[in-house]
Structure formats: structure tokens, C-alpha cells
Amino acid sequence: MNGRILSVVGGMFLLTVCSKGDQGNAAAAPAAPPAPAAPATSDPSADGGTITGKIKFTGTAAKNPTIDMSEEAACKAKYPSPPTEEVVVAGAANALANVFVYVSAGLPANAKYQAPSTAVVLDQNGCRYHPHVLGIMVGQNLEIKNSDPLLHNIKAIAKKNRGFNVSQPNAGMTRDVTFSAPEVMVNLECNVHGWMHAYAGVRPDPFFAVSGADGSFSIKGLPPGTYTVEAWHERFGTQTATVTIAGTESKTANFTFAAH
Amino acid sequence: MALVATQDTSAGKQVYTKWCAGCHGDNGAGDGPAARHMIPPPRDFTGAVYQIRSTANGQLPTDADLLRSIDEGLPGTAMPGWKNRLSDRQRRDVLAYIKTFSTFFADTTQRPQVLEFGKEPGGGTGAEALRVGRQFYDSIGCRKCHGDQGRGDGPSAPTLKDDAGHPIFAANLHENWRFNGGPTTTDIYHRLRTGLDGTPMPSFSDLIDQKFLTETELWRLAEYVRSLSPGEPPVVRDVIHAPLVTRVLPRAPDDSAWNAVDTYWFPLVGQVIHKNRWFAPAVTGVWVKAVHTRDSIALRVTWDDRSASPDSAWLGHLGRVLATVQSDDSTREQPALWPDQMVVEFPVTIPTGMERPYFLMGSSSGPVYQWRWTSASRSAAVAGLARGIERFDSLPRGGVGARAVYDHGQWRVVFTRALASLDTASQLPFRSGRAIPVAFFALDGSNGEHGTRMAVSTWYFLALDEPVPARVFISPVLAMLLTLGLGMLVVWRAQQKTSYRRQQ
Ligand SMILES: [Cu+2]
């Protein structure tokens, strides 16, 4: 088998409904012939398959609202001109950043993956979250820190995980949290600053990525198999594609969202 | 736990269906038939997110926590207390049943763990302790939501939502009798440590754990918050006494003459009689003072309102209110910049018997006399006759003055008028010697209140006190002497008689 991509279709379908649920809106291509059952593995093999792709959108996205930081001089001072929210972060040629891409189905049911011991850091700096979208494994530490000399409360709104809402009034405060169940997405927000939103994709495996400023992503180390890959964007909803990996190859899955 | 052993979820289901489902919904999703009328809406039990806990932020509550909410209810919300309506057994059964709505309670990794709260340190009521508390109130950002003076009017207040996106007010810290989790310093301290999960109110425990604050300092903050409310919740006294003042009438809301005048509190509730009914009023009560001179009366009405409406900063909140609360109309109203309003109502004439006009703005046959003030024209009030909730005819030469101040989440409005009336047929003449019925209506424009959507009181009374005439002071003394004298006489006579009899 030459491992051709049997189907990368999700991206071809434009979204018509805005949805933040994990239901894919785009139809998947006809299912690939079942791949030989992959052996269960505890760590993603470094030389497994790779899925890369580019994400873009068509149409014109509404302008991100400008943030009025007049109440927070210390944050305001960190920007030469008033910053905007990050609802749609676009690169050149409508490349779309901050899309959470992950393998939503196809991994062996009995596979268990060890969470890395390194933490994912979420920084509150200039009254914005860095990063705005992140992926994290079940059990992996999320280190939430405050780099601003003022009060942020960080609240997680979740369904499958326990939410939380803790305050960090001082610069240098940190809080480690872990999530116990997969959930796409856990919403993070600050209620002092209504514009502060971040999203965490919580996965039981390491096969996820967040698209960069140029809209590109890459998921590495996949064992052979046929996978459903889902792309989630906070405003444009979700799309799926089906990708089959046969060996240590690299496949492409591009996604195109429709702005609305 | 002993508690668990006695719980029976099928019996609990019966209690639940009968008493709780109307609000919390058959499946515990917070969507009962009554749910769409109230803010905050009934709790959705499926997420197992509870506000009142003794456990750390994000954790499940203990059974004791849940039982407390069921027993006492959540003051300041539609959630009633059940201690006096259901038996011990029924309350425990229903407790066990509401836990079955969420899988989190079945998950053994989610054992709730009670926090170590410690005891309130001594010395908490002195000025120095309160100063320390106030300092942290400012430095750790309570004011962002609760406002400089704690009336829930901070810069972030208009943007607040609960987890489900419903509008939520930052608590007015001057009304501890409406705190969900209880009014005491200890209750407040516990809420600061645990947060109120599902709402924007976060936990402040990390400050202690990470040594940014000592436990004593957080207790001082709780004590400061407690000091903002009166020592005891206000009690309703039916009759507003307006003393006669010899100096000039205090027309300004902050005239120092008001300091010496007794204040009266009256609770307001949503107008739920006429369509469109309103179950989510923002104004919870009015504080009233009144004085009169030989020829005029001044009435000062003070009420807490988080916004000086119209205020475009609150449009988002207003939109959320209209989206959350079901209207009696099928069409949902668009948010608009409505003003705040205060209506003071009297009968047209002082009734001689117990007969009073219909409190809710009179009727077509029995009008009421009203003073209407709106924040759109702060220094004016309109006098007129209301003939039912929908009809108001302003009177020419109404003769009512108004002066208003908006100050950190509070309106203070002074109404003034001559005692005598130019038109006794429709304008009440104020006279001493008889109790004059009075009622109050308040509308917060930024909360979507206009038309029939308002907070209402029932009839209370206003009495113009006469100065106590000099002879009244003397006569009791005389009377006492007289009685005493008579008594002495009687005793003396009796003694005389006895001795006389003895002599016989
Ligand atoms: Cu913030």
C-alpha cells in the first residue's frame, strides 16, 4: 500500500452552522478500508506517521473587537496601540491561527498514553491570555501564572471536568491544575476582564496541535491506522477529515473554514 | 457516613417531584416550568456545581453543605428554605436524590474534603482591624466587581455572567441578609476561601497558601465586609414619622439635617400581578426619611441601584436579562436605554377608615396620587393620578420638587411639596394627626425595568408629627403626682379605717 491519503475531505466542506460542540459539521469521505489493528502503545513512537496541514478561511471575518483597557493602566501600558480580542487571528492569505486540531477517533481503544511531566503554561500578561488556545493531556499540569500586577480571576467552565475559579491578585502568583477527563474544549475566562477568554483542548493522547500564525499544524508519532481528525475554531466551529497512516509517512490534511 | 445510610433515593424522588421539580426541572437540569422567570435561575444539578460549600474551589460539596442549602434556602434568591416544610427524613432523601443527577457524585476520586478554616481571630471590630480589611478590599481587587463602596457597582459588574451565560449581579455587600451562604463574618470568610462556584466570585485561598496574605488578614477583610451591613437586618416599621423641623426644609439629599432624622426601611418585591409580570427586580428595598415644616414636607428616598441608568455600559447585561427572563409577551423586547424611576404613592385624600385604594397604582374608579421621578430629568418630579398600572395623568401645577444624587451605587432623592394642596380633589393635602398611606415603586432601567416591570411595596404609613406641646410634658408628671397622692390617700384612709375598726 502506498499510503495515499484516502480522504481529506472535511476541509473541502464549508461550514454552514456555527457550532462549538464536538460534532463535526463536515461530512467525512467514504470510510477507508479498515487498517490492520495497531498495537497498543504507551508512548507515541518517534518515527510514526505525521499529519500536517494548513488551515485557512474563506470570506471576511468580522473585525476583532478593540479592548478598552482604560480601567487597567498597567495592562494598557504594555501596548503601543489598543489591542483587540483574538476571536479570529488571521495570517497572510487568510491563514487561520488558534485552531485546535486533534485525533478524535481511530486510536486503539486500549491505548494508554503517559502525560508528559512538563507543564503547559498559561500566562496572563497584558490582560490577555498567552496562549489563547492550548492543548493539554489528561493529568498533565497546566501552570497558570499572572504576569500582571493586578487581579485576574481564572475560571474554567467544563462539563466533563470539574471547573474552578481562583483569583490571582498579585504578579508572580501561580496555580497548577490538571484535568481528569478528555474535553474539547474547556473554556477559561476572567470575569474581571470580560474580554479575556482562552480555550484548552484536553486529550487522553498526545496527538493534537494548535495552528500557528501561518495556519499550519503538525501532529507527529501516529501509529498506523485510519483516523478522524477534527479541527476546532472558537468562532467558526468544527470540521473533520479522515486520514490513513500506514507507516512513517507524512500526510496532509488541510481545512478551510467559512467566515461568518 | 451515617447520613448516607438513611438516604433513600426513591422516596427522595417523590419529594423532589412534588417540591423541587417546578423550579429545578424533572431531570434536575434547572429547567422547571417556573425557571424562566427568575434571576438567578434554579440550579442545574447535572453539573454538580454548587455555590455553598465547605470544600475547596471546584470540589463537590459535602452532604452537610447541601443539607444546609436545602434547610436554609439561599437568601436573596428564589430558593426557599425547607427546614419547616419537610421532615428531616424527607430533606435527607431529596438530598440523596439530587446527587443522582450528576455522575460526579458516583466518582470515588471526587471525595469532597472540608477545608481547614480556623477560627476568627480576636480584635476584629475595632477601627484598625476594619482599616486593614478595607486595605485588602482595595488591593486584592474586590472593588473591581463589588465597587468602591461595595454596592455591586464595580467597573466589571456590568459584564458578569454565570457559567451558563445568565446575567449575575455582584452581591451588594451592604445587604448581608441577602448573602446566599449566610450573613455572619464566618460565613463571609468561608465564601472568600471557597468562592461561589458557577459564578464569577472566585476563591481567595491561594493568597494564603502562597503567602500573599495571612489568614488573619483575610479574616479582617471578612470583618470589613460584615461591617458594611447593619448589625441586624432591617425590620419594617409601618409608620414613617416625619418630625416638625423649625429650620428650613432640607431639600438637598445630603443636607446634614437628614442625619438627625430616623430612617425607615421597606422591602420591595417584583410586580407579579399584572402582565407583564416581573420576577427579577433589581431594587430590593428603600430607606425613607421625612420631615415637615409648618407649610412643607420633604421625603427622602434612598435605594441601592448598581447603575445610574441610562448607562450604555450596562447594555450587555440588559440584553442578557431580556434573554434569560421569559416575558409574558411572545415577542422578546430589544434592549433600550431606559432610565431609573421612583414612584411615591398616596391616596388622593386621607382615608377616614381602613379603606385604601388599590396599592398597585389604583384603579379606574379609585385613582391614587403619585410623585414620579426619573433619572432622565433628575431635578424634577411629576405629580399625577394613576388609574391602574397603565394609566397616569400628570397634574398641571403639580408643585412637587425633586433633588437627586447618585453616589457609588445609590440614589438619594428628596421630594418636596407644600402641605396644603391647591386642588384638594386630586392632590392630597398633608395634615398631621392622621396616618397617611404611602407606597413605593422602583425601576432599574439597566435591568430592563420599565412599564409594568418594576419592584413594588405594599401600603405603609406616613405621619406628620406635631411637636409635643409643653403641657404634655407636664401633665404626666402631674398625673403621676396625682395618682401617687391619691394612692397615699387611699392607703392612709385604709389605715385610718383599720385603726378605727381596731379601736371599735
Ligand atoms: Cu483578568
B203 DSSP assignment: B
Q: Within this chain, do residues B99 and B131 fall inside the same structural domain, yes or no?
A: no
Model pLDDT, residue A109: 86
ipTM: 0.85
Q: Are residues B165 and B265 in the same domain?
A: no
Answer yes or no: is B111 within a domain. no
Which CATH number does the domain housing residue B399 bear?
Answer: 2.60.40.1190
CATH of the domain at B190: 1.10.760.10
- Tell whether pTM > 0.90: no
CA distance, residue B155 to nearest chain A CA (Å): 8
Min CA distance, B146 vs chain A (Å)? 11
Q: A40: CA distance to ligand 1 center in Å? A: 42
Interface of A with B (CB under 8 A): 71, 150-151, 153-157, 159, 162-170, 173-175, 180, 191-194
Cα A42 to Cα A205: distance, rounded to the nearest angstrom: 10
Cα–ligand 1 centroid distance for A134 (angstroms): 18
φ and ψ at residue B220, rounded to 5 degrees: -60, -40
Please tell me the least confidently modeled range out of A12-26, A134-148, B129-143, B191-205.
A12-26
Number of alpha carbons in the 13 Å side-chain half-sphere of residue B94: 25
Together in a domain, B355 and B435: yes
A-interface mutation test, from B135, B138, B144, most A Cβ less than 10 A away: B144
Predicted confidence (pLDDT) at residue A204 exceeds the cutoff of 70: yes
Residue A157 is nearest to which of B59, B160, B163, comparing CB atoms?
A: B163
Note whether A55 and A215 are within 8 A (CB): yes
Chain A contact set for B210 (CB, 8 A): 173-174
Are B222 and B356 in a shared domain? Answer: no
Residue B115 lies in a domain: no
B264 domain-assigned: yes
Of residues B36 and B410, more confidently modeled: B410
Question: Across the A/B interface, how many CB contacts are shorter than 8 Å?
Answer: 83
Tell whether B27 is covered by a domain. Answer: yes
Superfamily of segment(s) A49-258:
Cupredoxins -  blue copper proteins (2.60.40.420)
Of A159, A163, A169, the CB nearest to B141: A169
Alpha carbons B435 and B461: distance in angstroms, whole number:
6
Mean pLDDT, to the nearest integer, of A9-23?
Answer: 31
Helix (H, G, I), strand (E, B) or coil at A201: strand
Task: Kindly report which listed range (B1-15, B123-137, B144-158, B291-305) carries the lowest average pLDDT score.
Answer: B1-15
Ramachandran bin of B329, using left for φ above 0, alpha for ψ from -120 to 50, beta for the remaining angles: beta
Count of the separate structural domains present in chain B: 4
Which amino acid is it at B270? G
**CB-CB neighbours of B350 under 10 Å:** 15
**Per-residue confidence at A17, pLDDT binned at 50, 70, 90?**
very low
pLDDT tens profile B347-388: 998 888 778 899 999 999 999 999 999 999 889 999 999 999
Q: How far apart are alpha carbons A205 and A219 in whole angstroms?
A: 11
Q: pLDDT tens digits, residue range B79-97?
A: 999 999 999 999 999 999 9
The whole domain housing B494 covers 474-504
- Given a cut of 60, whether residue B428 has pLDDT beyond it is yes
Instruction: For chain A, give every domain's residue range.
Output: 49-258
A54 — pLDDT class (breaks 50, 70, 90)? very high
Instruction: Encode B262-297: b = buried (16+ Cβ within 10 Å), e = exposed.
Output: eebebebebbeeeeebbbbbbbbbbbbbbbbbeebb
- Determine, yes or no, domain membership for B47: yes
Both B260 and B385 in one domain: the answer is yes
Which residue out of A148, A161, A167, A168 would a mutagenesis test of the B interface target, given it has the greatest number of B Cβ atoms within 10 Å? A167
Please report whether residue B113 resides in a domain.
Answer: no
- Give yes or no for B111 touching A (CB within 8 A): no
Q: Which residues of B touch A167 (CB under 8 A)?
A: 140-141, 195, 202-204, 206-207
The residue out of B72, B106, B140 marking a domain boundary is B106
Query: What distance in Å separates the CA atoms of residue B286 and residue B60, rounded to the nearest whole number?
Result: 38
User: How close B162 gets to chain A, by Cα (Å)?
Assistant: 10
Count of C-beta atoms within a 10 Å radius of residue B336: 12
Residue A37: per-residue pLDDT: 39
**What's the pLDDT band for B8 if we cut at 50, 70, 90?**
low
Do B152 and B254 fall into the same domain? no
Which residue in chain B is spatially nearest to A195 when comparing CA positions?
B159
d(CA A213, CA A197): 18
d(CA B381, CA A94): 58
Q: Which residues of A touch B59 (CB under 8 A)?
A: 162
Q: Please say if the pLDDT value at position B483 is more than 90.
A: no
Burial of B184 (0-12, 13-18, 19+ CB in 10 A): middle
Could you read off the pLDDT of B208-242 as tens digits, one per residue?
A: 999 999 999 999 999 999 999 999 999 999 999 99
Q: Are residues B326 and B443 in the same domain?
A: yes
* CB of B395 less than 8 A from some CB of A: no
The grid coordinates listed for A36 are 490492520
Using an 8 Å CB-CB cutoff, list chain A residues near B202. 153-155, 165-167, 191
pLDDT at residue B424, rounded to an integer:
78
- Give chain B positions within 8 Å (CB) of A194: 156, 159-160
C-alpha distances out from residue B500 to B104, B351, B487, B490, Å: 93, 60, 19, 15
Domain assignment present for B446: yes
pLDDT digits (tens, 9 = 90+) for B51-67: 999 999 999 999 999 99
